[in-house]
């Protein structure tokens, strides 16, 4: 049987792990909006994927989506469109004319993220009330004419149902976590750090969130500043495309000499080693759809502290799979960091429970099989071994 011909419509950039996972199961093509000053796929895929890159203008790209999906409808069996914005509206309208099954892939609460621009200005693009109104309108229109949603978490399912849709909403945590790559290391952390040219003394805290209003850089830096002032020997490792801005913020808090910040690294070739070198991962967010980074850290056996918000509340449960703190509460975050670093046995227990959760519900092979079932292709996938270490 020939693989289903899947067109992935990307409006705001996508992760290479999603692309490579889709290539394994589908005859994939990509229709992407040009990202000015960035890339449409986070890293080059291991396998070349036929791609069409359109204008950076969202309106012009939406028009391209409309034309492309109508013109090539005989070559496309299924359309997976990112988000519920203008490109999704064009894809859903095209689906009404062509009959091609189309689903919206929702990985983040776009409206909630945008509201953070107003509440926390100074990071990223400015808040504009008309743009917020447009996002609300697009969410409602897509909820009305769209046929299907695929979301990462129950939180996001609640978000899209809040748009007024009565269409199917399937929860599939693509692209999941490859637990064959993200796993605890048998090599001592000190040796891994030496190999990566990271500090071998003191505690290493990791964070990898982009610098954006919905991410809470200030709370994390304030907590680390307090602990350093109290005499803690700490280092903060940050990997993100916005690392220069992160360093500027660290300088404002007076702790730049304790921050190691670089551009994002390849998610499979280096990122697991970073996790394995760390003592603790902190996910500081004001809004969150799911939070894959926290899951990747747990898969590597690293304790996690996360803000109690959005999809993070489904994975990081205080006392079970990690520690949590109220959004924006840097004092509580500082105490949680101390607890996680001082109570080693408890930290190891929670991290092990977290890896069990990842293996059970968020393994990438399982996630892509779930996606195939959602679109009627489960019979095409060969069974594979599940991750080792689930509990």
Residue range(s) in the chain whose domain bears CATH number 3.40.50.2000: 5-176+363-380, 189-362
- According to the model, what pLDDT value does residue 391 have? 40
pTM given for the model: 0.92
- C-alpha closest to that of 386 among 371, 364, 370: 364
Does residue 385 have a pLDDT over 50? no
What would the 3-class secondary structure string for 11-79 be? CCCECHHHHHHHHHHCEEEEEEECCCCCCCECCCCCCCCCEEEECCCHHHHHHHHHHHHHHCHHHCCEE
Q: Quick one: average pLDDT of 235-258?
A: 94
Fold exhibited by the domain 5-176+363-380: Rossmann fold (3.40.50)
Does residue 383 have a pLDDT over 50? no
Q: How confident is the model at residue 122 (pLDDT cuts 50, 70, 90)?
A: confident
- According to the model, what pLDDT value does residue 87 have? 98
Q: Quick one: average pLDDT of 348-354?
A: 98
How many percent of the chain have pLDDT more than 90? 85
Q: Quick one: average pLDDT of 208-226?
A: 93
Condensed to tens digits (0 to 9), the pLDDT of residues 311-334 reads: 999 999 999 999 999 999 999 999
C-beta separation of 312 from 361 below 8 A: no
Fold exhibited by the domain 189-362: Rossmann fold (3.40.50)
Q: Which of 7-11, 171-175, 210-214, 383-387 has the highest mean pLDDT?
A: 7-11
- Sheet with 27-33: strands ordered across: 51-54, 27-33, 5-10, 78-82, 102-106, 149-151, 169-171
Does residue 15 have a pLDDT over 60? yes
Condensed to tens digits (0 to 9), the pLDDT of residues 266-275 reads: 888 899 999 9
Q: How confident is the model at residue 387 (pLDDT cuts 50, 70, 90)?
A: low
- Range name among 31-35, 254-258, 382-386 with the lowest pLDDT average: 382-386
- According to the model, what pLDDT value does residue 268 have? 86
- According to the model, what pLDDT value does residue 380 have? 38
């Amino acid at each position: 049987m020939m693989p289903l011909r899947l067109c992935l419509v990307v409006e705001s950039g996508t992760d290479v792990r999603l692309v490579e996972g889709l290539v394994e199961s589908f005859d994939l093509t990509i229709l992407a909006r040009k990202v000015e000053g960035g890339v449409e796929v986070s890293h080059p895929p291991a396998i070349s994927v036929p791609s069409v890159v359109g204008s950076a203008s969202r309106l012009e790209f939406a028009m391209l989506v409309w034309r492309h999906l109508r013109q090539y409808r005989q070559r496309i069996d299924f359309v997976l469109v990112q988000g519920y914005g203008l490109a999704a509206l064009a894809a859903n309208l095209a689906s009404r004319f062509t009959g091609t099954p189309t689903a919206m892939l929702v990985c983040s609460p776009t409206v909630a993220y945008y509201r953070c621009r107003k509440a926390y200005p100074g990071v990223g693009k400015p808040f504009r009330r008309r743009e917020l109104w447009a996002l609300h309108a697009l969410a409602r229109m897509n909820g009305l004419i769209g046929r299907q949603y695929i979301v990462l978490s129950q939180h996001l399912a609640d978000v899209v149902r809040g748009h007024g849709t009565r269409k199917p909403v399937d929860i599939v945590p693509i692209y999941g976590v490859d637990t064959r790559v993200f796993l605890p290391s048998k090599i001592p952390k000190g040796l891994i750090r030496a190999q990566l040219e990271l500090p071998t003394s003191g505690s290493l805290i990791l964070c990898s969130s982009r610098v954006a209003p919905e991410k809470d850089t200030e709370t994390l830096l304030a907590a680390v500043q307090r602990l350093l002032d109290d005499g803690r020997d700490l280092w903060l490792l940050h990997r993100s495309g916005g690392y220069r801005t992160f360093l500027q913020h660290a300088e404002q808090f007076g702790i730049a000499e304790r921050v190691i910040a670089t551009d994002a690294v390849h998610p499979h070739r280096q990122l697991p080693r970073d996790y394995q070198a760390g003592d603790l991962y902190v996910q500081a967010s004001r809004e969150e759809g799911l939070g894959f980074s926290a899951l990747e850290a747990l898969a590597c056996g690293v304790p996690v502290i996360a803000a109690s918000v959005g999809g993070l509340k489904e994975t990081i449960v205080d006392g079970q799979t990690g520690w949590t703190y109220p959004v924006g509460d840097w004092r509580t975050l500082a105490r949680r960091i101390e607890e996680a670093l001082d109570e080693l046995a408890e930290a190891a227990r929670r991290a092990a429970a977290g890896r069990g959760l990842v293996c059970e519900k968020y393994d990438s092979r399982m996630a892509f099989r779930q996606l195939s079932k959602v679109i009627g292709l489960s019979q095409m996938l060969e069974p594979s071994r599940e991750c080792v270490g689930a509990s």
